[in-house]
Amino acid sequence: MTDRSVAALGADRADRADGADGADGADRADRADVLTRAVRPGDAAYERSRRALAVSGVVPDDRPALVVAARDAADVASAVRHAFRAGRPVTVRSGGHGTAFTALAQGALALDVSALDDVRVDRAARTARVGPGATSLALAQSLDGSGLAFPVGHKASVGLGGFLLAGGNGWNQGAWGSACESVRDAEVVLADGRRTVLDDASDPEAFAVLRGAGPAFPGVVTSFGLQLWPEPVVRRRSVRMRAAGRDGLTAIGTWADALAAVVAPEVELTLVLAPAGGVVASVTAFGRDHAHADELLEPVSRALPATTSAVVSSATTMPGLLLDEPARPGAGCVAQQAWSRAGYAEVLPRLAPHLAGAPSAASSVLVSSASYRRSAPPSPDPLHRPLGTLTVAAYAVWSPGEDDDANLAWPTTTLAALAGGTTGHYVGEADLRRTPDRLARCWEAGGIERVQAVRARLDPAGVFHPPPGLA
Ligand SMILES: Cc1cc2nc3c(=O)[nH]c(=O)nc-3n(C[C@H](O)[C@H](O)[C@H](O)COP(=O)(O)OP(=O)(O)OC[C@H]3O[C@@H](n4cnc5c(N)ncnc54)[C@H](O)[C@@H]3O)c2cc1C
């Protein structure tokens, strides 16, 4: 692919000519449709379209050869067919939250599928069909009050495309499992532009890889079929604590370890650590009914840490969880994540110096134990698995132009504090540009070989641009 990528560089105008001589019907359809809407270097809209491939206000400098906005699956197939013939690498953008900025690649055909954002719910069948550009909030709002729910991601604007392909650490995953475990099938455009449906019957191994490979999946998903869950009653208790340095964090960690050991799988515990030193424990319960939700939260107030400054209880809904925090449009954003089998009391104090030295006060570290307590084994077998008992994710959020380099580096240096105590990484929250070696640690042993084997089978010509770490 490297040779072909290089050949593609500087060929910005070549696409308009591609297929012009002796084009068959498909070529003409491609030209008349999606490619004529492509934005290329030199076009007035190019820089805006390039930057819009990620929601972060700070993006890498990579310059795609063309940015193609698909309106439907037929557009996707046309664009991929064109790239296949022209020898262009293809990248994909759904919701734009990818922490490795994999929609941006030099010389690529960048395919923006954010407009494929349909959400159709079949209440009787307890299923939904969603486009990859649909957001967590759109799905949660479509289901609100319907009696059905889905383990959507924790932030309103995260795209279901990248989220489900990465595995999906969604709300109530302690009880519902990772979101990808609730994917029944996916409509996919393959490397030669053919459209197919992948599920456990048609191609079990490709379907397993689809649920966990993240940016390494060799195809474009144009819709997902989802299994839905009974809508829960959502209750939350937020415990605000002052953290007095390492000792304070150790005490908070000891309390959190004790709480994590006794709460039911339907309780999600996340500690949010802010640079200013405060810690908020968000404890969210997903009950069958009001009484059950209250009962689930009962252990929270036992033996609270001495640094507790407030305990706030609230009733909310699945979309309400996503609307809890204000969005920061245009902010720079990058993340790094690690799994660990250590307890909170060991992890939290190690993070203290990095929190104090964070270049942006808007950044935070999230430590959550929700991912590992599901009793039933995942079925059918997805590639994605939680690789630890805690997930630790550092998110840098800052105003573009205010020390971009320091902010971009902060999540990685912060998680370096856990060195030796990590058991893997989550492909959805890994900064693979900075640490490409982490890709191989995003899956269980043999995982990267499974991904490579499916790529070799479904994309032998290497049409889909590999993420860092998979070259
Ligand atoms: C603020 C924020 C909050 C987050 N919260 C969570 C969370 O709660 N839980 C969690 O699990 N993760 C979370 N993440 C991580 C997020 O789920 C992943 O980064 C995910 O990849 C984002 O999906 P997207 O569609 O928005 O991003 P995109 O940047 O559009 O997609 C990332 C990459 O995935 C691949 N891809 C996306 N769509 C397709 C498609 N249709 N077909 C083929 N390949 C595709 C492409 O390689 C693409 O470049 C969060 C990230 C951010 C920035």
Q: For position 387, what pLDDT does the model report?
A: 92
Q: Rounded to whole angstroms, how far apart are CA atoms 88 and 465?
A: 9
**How many alpha carbons fall within 13 Å on the CB side of residue 94?**
31
* Ligand 1: nearest atom to the Cα of 133: 25
Give the SS3 label for residue 324.
Answer: coil
Strand partners, 341: none
Q: For position 264, what pLDDT does the model report?
A: 93
Q: How many residues does the chain have?
A: 471
Q: Rounded to whole angstroms, how far apart are CA atoms 286 and 103?
A: 35
Cβ of 212 closer than 6 Å to ligand 1, yes or no, is no
Cβ of 154 closer than 6 Å to ligand 1, yes or no, is yes
Q: For position 135, what pLDDT does the model report?
A: 98
Please, what are the domains in the chain?
2-112 (3.30.43.10), 119-230 (3.30.465.10), 233-442 (3.40.462.20)
Sequential pLDDT tens for the chain (471 residues): 333 332 333 333 334 333 333 334 444 455 457 888 999 999 999 999 999 999 999 999 999 999 999 999 999 999 999 999 999 999 999 999 999 999 999 999 999 999 999 999 999 999 999 999 999 999 999 999 999 999 999 999 999 999 999 999 999 999 999 999 999 999 999 999 999 999 999 999 999 999 999 999 999 999 999 999 999 999 999 999 997 788 889 999 999 999 999 999 999 999 999 998 899 999 999 999 999 999 999 999 888 999 999 999 999 999 999 997 767 889 999 999 999 999 999 999 999 889 989 999 999 999 998 655 555 555 568 999 999 989 999 999 999 999 999 999 999 999 999 988 899 999 999 999 999 999 999 999 999 999 999 999 999 999 999 999 997
Q: For position 276, what pLDDT does the model report?
A: 86
Cβ of 53 closer than 6 Å to ligand 1, yes or no, is no
Using the mean position of ligand 1's atoms as its centre, give its distance from the Cα of residue 449 in Å. 22
Using the mean position of ligand 1's atoms as its centre, give its distance from the Cα of residue 95 in Å. 6
Using the mean position of ligand 1's atoms as its centre, give its distance from the Cα of residue 429 in Å. 8
Cβ of 151 closer than 6 Å to ligand 1, yes or no, is no
Contact 8, 87 (CB under 8 A): yes
Kindly report the protein residue whose alpha carbon is nearest to atom 52 of ligand 1: 97
Query: Tokens at residue 234, please?
Result: 């959502």
Q: Rounded to whole angstroms, how far apart are CA atoms 16 and 38?
A: 9
Q: For position 302, what pLDDT does the model report?
A: 86
Q: Rounded to whole angstroms, how far apart are CA atoms 300 and 103?
A: 41
φ/ψ of 7, rounded to 5, equals -60, -30
Q: For position 21, what pLDDT does the model report?
A: 30
Q: For position 13, what pLDDT does the model report?
A: 31
Q: Is 411 left (phi over 0), alpha (psi -120 to 50) or beta?
A: alpha
Cβ of 337 closer than 6 Å to ligand 1, yes or no, is no
Q: For position 378, what pLDDT does the model report?
A: 54
Q: Rounded to whole angstroms, how far apart are CA atoms 130 and 256?
A: 36
Using the mean position of ligand 1's atoms as its centre, give its distance from the Cα of residue 296 in Å. 31
Contact 131, 222 (CB under 8 A): yes
Separation in Å, CA 28 to CA 21, 87, 153, 357: 10, 18, 40, 57
Kindly report the protein residue whose alpha carbon is nearest to atom 19 of ligand 1: 98
Q: For position 112, what pLDDT does the model report?
A: 98
* Ligand 1: nearest atom to the Cα of 154: 8
Contact 119, 202 (CB under 8 A): no
Closest by Cα among 179, 30, 181 to 111: 30
Using the mean position of ligand 1's atoms as its centre, give its distance from the Cα of residue 448 in Å. 19
Contact 68, 38 (CB under 8 A): yes
* Ligand 1: nearest atom to the Cα of 158: 26
Query: Tokens at residue 373, please?
Result: 């307590």
Separation in Å, CA 238 to CA 223, 235, 291: 36, 10, 19
Cβ of 166 closer than 6 Å to ligand 1, yes or no, is yes
Using the mean position of ligand 1's atoms as its centre, give its distance from the Cα of residue 162 in Å. 3
Using the mean position of ligand 1's atoms as its centre, give its distance from the Cα of residue 346 in Å. 29
Kindly report the protein residue whose alpha carbon is nearest to atom 23 of ligand 1: 162
Using the mean position of ligand 1's atoms as its centre, give its distance from the Cα of residue 145 in Å. 26
Q: For position 20, what pLDDT does the model report?
A: 30
